[in-house]
Amino acid sequence: MTTQTHTAIDKAKLTEQLLAAVESHNTQQIKDFFSHLVAEEIAEILESTPPKDRQILWETLNGENQGEILTHTNDEVTATLLESLKPHEIVNITEDLETDDIADIVQSLDSSKQQAILSSLDENNRTAVETALTYPDDTAGGLMSTDLISVRADVTLDVVLRYLRTLGELPDSTAELFVRDRNKKFVGSLKLTALLTHDEDTLVKDVLDTHIPAIRAFTSEKEVAHFFEKNDLISAAVVNENDQIIGRITIDDVVDIIREEAEHAQMARAGLDEDEDIFAPASRAAKRRTFWLGINLITAIFASIVIGLFDASIEKVVALAVLMPIVASMGGIAGTQTATIVIRALATGKLAKSNSRSLLIKESTVGLYNGVIWAILTGIAVLFWFDDIALSLIFSTAMLINLFAAAFAGAMIPLILQRLKIDPALASGLMLTTVTDSLGFFVFLGLATIVLI
């Protein structure tokens, strides 16, 4: 049967139908449902299924497809599914996978199962997997596949064509062959179009493309994605410290990087891990989240302490209690807008030390402009609301200061966190909230205490 793409709503309905089939022990219906889906869609369904039902669905799957499905599940779900398998079963479902996918799965196993997988591979594949395991999984070396074709620069295209015919088939996503010298060092790439359109007696070195450099094995995955985007690549060679070709990265790997980065950014705003199993045991999930809840509690207490310093003023002028959340809220939104721009610029490599000062000045100026605009508008509103010009001026001043400070903090906090090698997406929100809330309360209540009380 042909596979089909499904919308989020379709997948939700399909998951419900699958769970109903599990409830009724209708194995054939489950198999029929799965026959219409590609591996990534099945992986998404497994991730959205409670552990008990997930295990039943997993056991219903064809063993030939289980390995490919595991390459699309998140790390925690992968580890959970592999726990139920014996070493020889893992060997069976991974035998047709590419070496980079095998390396990812091996990382999820305990040492005994890792050894069983590695010992089952032939010498070339075992060496490739062991090489991939020596690099962090978020680098080019951890992402690369060794399934590539390389040729010498000093041979003719006829020799290359005869070599390809002996292979019988090309690796997936092959649009070019990588060219090496006698020491296996990368010298360029040979496009398949050039191979097919030039005379057979042409030397490879005469038609090779030397404009696109190879990627170093320890290059971060973010930089790899930027490299592909900048050069419009389908694949790229990965080289070691000696410039020798050790693997390649293809566009499908980069798509995975982009998707994972998007998920990371979305989850990080709440202090969560994108690889967390949504049906992980409650005790484990609570343990993970309690740290950020604790940090949030500390920031909330700090803001409350600031308010407590002016409790006498609030008692005397009730309007202060009504207006102070507005100052803090406006500052929070302004700071979040700036922080989002800066975090995105950092993630895409558009912001570095050389241009960070310019962006800081620009965002602070935007905060100042917005501060003036909203100070005037809200000051007029407060004047009509409470008929108190002093209160109106205090509120306007606090609004101006807090919007300016929020924009400045929204730019500075991610930059500082980046310099400290802390993920800006993960920690900026809490720190920014502390600044905008505490400063907003302090400025507004402080000015009110001085002028009104």
Sequence-distant (6+) residues with CB within 8 A of 248 are 144, 145, 146, 147, 148, 178, 235, 236, 237, 238
Residue with tokens 């002996």: 166
pLDDT of 7 above 90: no
Tell me: the pLDDT tens digits for 323-382? 989 999 999 899 989 998 998 888 777 787 888 899 999 999 999 999 999 999 999 999
Under the banding of pLDDT at 50, 70 and 90, the label for residue 4 is low
Structure tokens at 89: 């079963």
pLDDT of 296 above 80: no
pLDDT of 408 above 90: yes
- pLDDT, mean of residues 399-412: 94
Rounded to the nearest 5 degrees, what angle is found at the Cα of 270, between the Cα atoms of 266 and 275? 60
217 vs 299: which has the higher pLDDT:
217
Task: Point out the least confidently predicted range of 8-17, 62-71, 194-203.
Answer: 8-17
What is the reported pLDDT for 274? 55
What is the reported pLDDT for 25? 82
pLDDT of 184 above 90: no
Residue whose C-alpha is closest to residue 143's, from 169, 116, 104: 104
Residue whose C-alpha is closest to residue 351's, from 429, 418, 260: 418
Residue whose C-alpha is closest to residue 121's, from 110, 139, 105, 108: 105
What is the reported pLDDT for 350? 76
Tell me: the pLDDT tens digits for 224-270? 988 898 888 889 999 999 999 999 998 888 888 887 777 666 665 55
278 vs 240: which has the higher pLDDT:
240
What is the reported pLDDT for 10? 67
pLDDT of 286 above 80: no
- pLDDT, mean of residues 397-426: 90
- pLDDT, mean of residues 75-102: 83
- Please name the residue ranges forming H helices in 269-388: 282-308, 311-316, 319-347, 353-386
Beta strands across the sheet bearing 186-191: 150-152, 176-180, 186-191
What is the reported pLDDT for 268? 59
- pLDDT, mean of residues 103-124: 81
Rounded to the nearest 5 degrees, what angle is found at the Cα of 359, between the Cα atoms of 354 and 365? 145
Under the banding of pLDDT at 50, 70 and 90, the label for residue 271 is low
What is the reported pLDDT for 425? 77
pTM of the predicted model over 0.75: no
Under the banding of pLDDT at 50, 70 and 90, the label for residue 1 is very low
Residue with tokens 């402009």: 369
Under the banding of pLDDT at 50, 70 and 90, the label for residue 2 is very low
7 vs 181: which has the higher pLDDT:
181
Structure tokens at 74: 């998140």
Q: What is the mean pLDDT of the chain?
A: 84
